[in-house]
Each structure stands twice: as structure tokens, then as C-alpha cells.
Amino acid sequence: MVVLFFRRGWLRIKLYHPTVKAPQTRVSILIAARNEENNISHTIQDILEQSYPAELMELIIVDDHSADRTSDVVLSFSDPRVKLIRLDEKGKLNSYKKKAITEAIKLSGGELIITTDADCRMKEEWLGTIVSFYEKNDSKLISSPVIYHQEKSFFERLQTLEFLYLIGLGASSIGNRTPSTCNGANLAYRRDVFFELDGFKGIDDLASGDDELFLHKVAERYPDGIGFCKSLSAVVYTQAKENLKEFIRQRKRWASKSTRYKNKSIVTLGVLIWLFNLMLLVTAAAGFADPVFWRTCLWALLFKFFCEAAFLLPLTQFARRRELIYYLPLLTIVHVVYMIFIGIAGNSGKYVWKGRVVR
């Protein structure tokens, strides 16, 4: 029934169609990059080609101690809107990304901050759509869709469906007025709100959390100030992980943030979902002793499948990826083991991120 509650939240958010008027908001787009020489030029090009007034935007890229030619690639762009900062921290930090974003915001001149990643792609209406939503709603923080694309394998397509599920959960929690998750690859917030809330102070001891933990800070101060820009024009596209090892590392990083959630209802919900999946696994194992448990497990899985299908159908329709729904029967089963494992691994200490061991 929880999934159906999330379906309601997604459907409560109306599709956004940008209004046709000249934008007034100065925007600073921020990218924290580490060893991204093979990706970042495409992202920079996409941003420079936005159908948005050049005088109202700037792109600030922070090179986070890259060991490759990331900085050289950035400097190869002669456009004055592109600015480069090189982090030069002598002492060890646990949250280099939050440090990078903070330094970029200090340098920025935009009223609205928009963060994305160095391996993301966007259509030319991306920036204008988000700013149009901001100017219409006067939101303090805006979450926008992130979707995987250009999958090269069955494993990557399975990830695309699962990631669409996660993006939908974050959007629906905003629709239900209980903001819980978002993605820093497509996140916007007011610069003055960042400083008003002391930036990442209080959450800067974690390597991750520059997105949803900051979302929680904003939602606590401005419970009606969170918006979700439900528009295909606002989508940022990125790629799934190529192998299981990188996938597990990414999901451990995402799960590690849950230990710092202040909203106990979100934590309780997460624990209940984890316990439900554990119950399914235990019931399946008990079937080897008494086959009647297999029948119970099958009915529970079918219930899980139909609830998830009801949630994912409108999401795949929004993303124009209806074909992904055919992967749901397998995902429903795999998700049981995955949720149990990640729930434990994500809260069990350190993990590897961008070549660093962090926590």
C-alpha cells in the first residue's frame, strides 16, 4: 500500500509546460568534477548551447584533485561563462564534493544555483524550463528528473528501470508534501537560502548527502518551498553503471545517507520496507522445510509486483520508456535480495567513491 501512496504523490504533480516569456533570473551552474576528462566536454557543450540568455548564466567547474586532464579540457573552452576552480586542500577531508560545491557557490553570482554532474547530458531547453518553473513557483529548492540512457546491456536496462523507480519515489514524496530524496545531478536552489542555512554545516562529515540531506535542511525551514519540475525538457540524462562492482559502490554511497535522516517517519518507512523484503526472503527459505511457505511467498511477490507496476507504469510513460516495464517481473525478485544487502552494506562503514575510501 505504501507504493500506491507514492503513486498518488507522483500523479499529484502536474506536468509542467514552460511559460513563454523572457527569463529574468541569473543562474550559476555548478559541477564538481574528478577525473572526468572523457566526459566533461560533452556536458560543457550541452550547457553552453542552452536556449537561455548568455548574460544570465555562468558555469563553474571545480576540479577535485583530478589525476587526468580534466582541468585542461575545461580550459580549452574560451567562452567567458566557463570558470574553473582547482581544489587544493592539504588536509584530508571526508566530503570533498561538499567542499567543491561550497567554494563554487562563494564565487558564483547567480540568484539560482543549479548542480549537475560532469557525465550528464541535457537538451537545450533544460535550463530555461527549470528557471521558468522557479520564476512561476518561487520555490526555495527544485528537484528535477534524472534518467539513464544509451544502455549497452541487459544489466544497464534493468538499472534504468530501478533508477526510474528511485527518481519517482523522490518526486512522489514531494508531491505528498513529505520531501525525502532528490538527485544532485539535477538540483536547483536559491543561493541566499544556501547561506541562510549555513550550507552543508551539520552534514559535512559525510562524503555524500550534498543533495538529499540538504533537501531535508531546506524542507525543515521551508516545508512549502520544495518543488519538482515534472517536464521532459527538464530531464538530465546520465548512464548506468557498467558492472556490478560499480553499481554496488554507488548504491552503498546512496544508502549511507539514511543514517542522518532527521525525519523519523522516513527512517521508519525505510526500515519497514527492508523488513518486508527480509520477510519475503525468510519465507522463501522456509519453503524448503514446508512448501506451503512458497505459496505464501508467491502471493506476496505478486502483490509486490502489481503495486510496483501501478507505480512504474506512469513513470515509464513520462520517460517514454514503456518497454522497460517488461523487466519488472525480474526486478521484483532481484530487488528483494538487493534491498536486504544494500540496507546492511550502506550502513556498515566505508566505501569507495572516485578512487577514495570515504564514509
Model confidence pLDDT, tens digit, residues 236-263: 999 999 999 999 888 888 887 776 776 7
Taking the C-alpha atoms of residue 29 and residue 130, their distance in angstroms, rounded to an integer, is 12
Q: What is the pLDDT of residues 90-123, one digit of tens each?
A: 767 778 899 999 999 999 999 999 999 999 999 9
Helices (H), 13-89: 40-48, 70-75
Confidence of residue 21 (pLDDT cuts 50, 70, 90): confident
Q: Which of 24-33, 124-133, 284-293, 336-345 has the lowest mean pLDDT?
A: 336-345
Q: How far apart are CA 190 and CA 4, in angstroms?
A: 32
**And the C-alpha cell for 310?**
501501478
Torsion of Cα atoms, 286 then 159 then 310 then 274, to 10°: 40
**Minimal CA–CA distance to 102: which of 215, 201, 181?**
201
* Distance from the first to the final alpha carbon of the chain: 33
Q: Does domain 2-243 sit in CATH 3.90.550.10? A: yes
Going by C-alpha positions, the residue among 31, 14, 11 that lies closest to residue 73 is 31
Q: Are 127 and 29 in contact (CB under 8 A)?
A: yes
**What's the whole-number mean pLDDT along residues 315-321?**
97
Q: What is the pLDDT of residues 35-83, one digit of tens each?
A: 999 999 999 999 999 999 999 999 999 999 999 999 999 999 999 999 9
Other residues' Cβ atoms within 10 Å of the Cβ of residue 279 = 14
Q: Region 139-167: what's the mean pLDDT?
A: 96
Grid cell for residue 43: 556536458
* Whole-number percent of the chain with pLDDT over 90: 78
Q: Where are the domains of the chain?
A: 2-243, 264-358
Is residue 349 scored above 70 in pLDDT?
A: no
pLDDT band at 214 (very low <50, low <70, confident <90, very high): very high
> Whole-angstrom Cα distance, residue 251 to residue 246?
9
Give the β-pairing of 146-148 and 236-238. parallel
- CB 168, CB 143: distance < 8 Å: no
